[in-house]
Amino acid sequence: MVMWAGRFSKELNKDVNAFNSSLSFDCRMYRQDIRGSLAHAKMLCAQGIISAEDYEDIVRGLSAILGEIEEGTLTFDSDAEDIHMFIEAELTRRYPKAGKRLHTGRSRNDQVALDLRLYVHDEIKDIKGMLKDMIGTITDIAAQHTETIMPGYTHLQRAQPITFAHHLMAYAEMFLRDMDRLNDVDKRVNVSPLGSGALATTSYPLDRFMVAQELGMSDIMYNSLDGVSDRDYAIEFANALATIMMHLSRFSEEIILWCSWEFKFIDLDDAYATGSSIMPQKKNPDIAELVRGKSARVINAVSTLTTMMKGLPLAYNKDMQEDKETLFDAIDQVRLCLPVFEDMLKTMSVNKDKMREAAAKGFINATDCADYLTKKGMPFRDAYKVTGQLVGYCVEHGITLEELPADVFQSYSDLFAEDVYEAINLMTCLKARGVIGGPAPDVESANITRVKKKAGELL
């Protein structure tokens, strides 16, 4: 049954019907569509717009349809244009009188807008849970490595001493911001457009606040044109998903570097790597590479949605049907990547000795050597120059600062004494960085506790 058949004298061309149909992808919103319809019907009954008998039939019918879809005993009709038409047609088939009254006071425009908002709201909750799990895994690993020294990098050059915990916790902070960002997006998602109608509300005495409350939404949209045509929240959500993937991609790049023979800071579990069809020695970090690749796909969703909306006049336009496939794919990629990436982290092995060796050979205690001289009275720029000369000497002779003989130190400055070796010891350098936000073990341990608590609060 075509819902607008009264105006048209011809059936829709089958090719046009297939082109026009969105059921193949919007069918995933069946739960949200039924939730919205149940709330709408309850309000219609409360307002005296439909009878209690019709309301009961609608509840009975929609509840049965939901159960049968969940059980797999009711399959989607490929001839239906979208999930909204499918469910209404199925309800009307079972309860003809009540089914035909369900759509009173609403349009598919505000119905679609509501369903997508409910869907995004549900997905935000799920993805936040995944991010919390990721943060939990990162903090658990970090807690074991608050004294595992490794070089910190700038420009991918060894710079200053940090710990593996400190490096990992930078990503925990990113994922915390992702959770917070999703909460912020949800404030603009979780408002009800239902009652906006096609574009100009309706003459029926709807109680829009009742519907919003019934659905657990925080407010209604106060302009009907905006109510049916707004997709800002979808763009914001896509942007939040893109940022999550950008963070995962950066993390993936480091995993890829760390497990290479040039670094060997970590080893990936065999279950999370692949081999080569021709090179028997290869162990490839394919999971990390795929996550890095999929990030482009999600990042592109922001551009697709923004471009789709940029030239649309008010109010609803069919172009907006294109929001769902793009947004759903972005959601799917994030949901696919987060758990497998987390499992990869859980199963990796950390090579502490290789990290310590890289730290020792990187002259990452040079700043601390300069600080040593500064604390003894030398101007920092002079101390900087002296330390640079010492590093040059070490490079020329193939040794580290810690291995430099005392007489060589003193040949560059008589301020050097035996206590220089303690000052430039990597663990000393590390523990000295006790400023909040730094890598000192006690500071990092406190931060791990803070992050765990914060993740729980943001959920």
Listed in sequence order, the residues at least 6 apart from 327 whose beta carbon sits closer than 8 Å to its beta carbon are 116, 120, 234, 237, 238, 301, 305
pLDDT digits (tens, 9 = 90+) for 287-308: 999 999 999 999 999 999 999 9
The domain boundary, picked from 354, 388, 417, lies at 354
Ramachandran bin of 8, using left for φ above 0, alpha for ψ from -120 to 50, beta for the remaining angles: beta
Kindly report, residue by residue over 115-137, the tens digit of the pLDDT: 999 999 999 999 999 999 999 99
**How many angstroms separate the CA atoms of 269 and 255, rounded?**
12
**Residues 346, 433 within the same domain:** no
- Which residue range(s) make up the domain with 250? 109-354
pLDDT band at 12 (very low <50, low <70, confident <90, very high): low
Query: Tell me: the pLDDT tens digits for 135-159?
Result: 999 999 999 999 999 999 999 999 9
Does 120 fall in a domain? yes
Positions marked active-site = 155, 276
261 and 332 inside one domain: yes
Cα 163 from Cα 147, distance rounded (Å): 6
* 113 and 87 in a common domain: no
Q: Which residue, of 49, 74, 104, is where some domain finishes?
A: 104
Instruction: List CB contacts of 225: < 8 A, sequence separation 6 or more.
Output: 196, 199, 200, 314, 315
In-domain check, residue 458: no
- Are 58 and 174 members of one domain? no
Average pLDDT value for residue range 327-348: 98
Same domain, 202 and 154: yes
- Whole-prediction pTM value? 0.92
Give the pLDDT confidence of 229-260 residue by residue, as tens digits: 999 999 999 999 999 999 999 999 999 999 99
Query: Which of these three, 313, 334, 354, is where a domain ends?
Result: 354
State the pLDDT at residue 279: 78
288 and 324 fall within a common domain? yes
Q: What is the mean pLDDT of residues 366-373?
A: 95
Q: Does any domain span residue 454? A: no
pLDDT of residue 1: 45
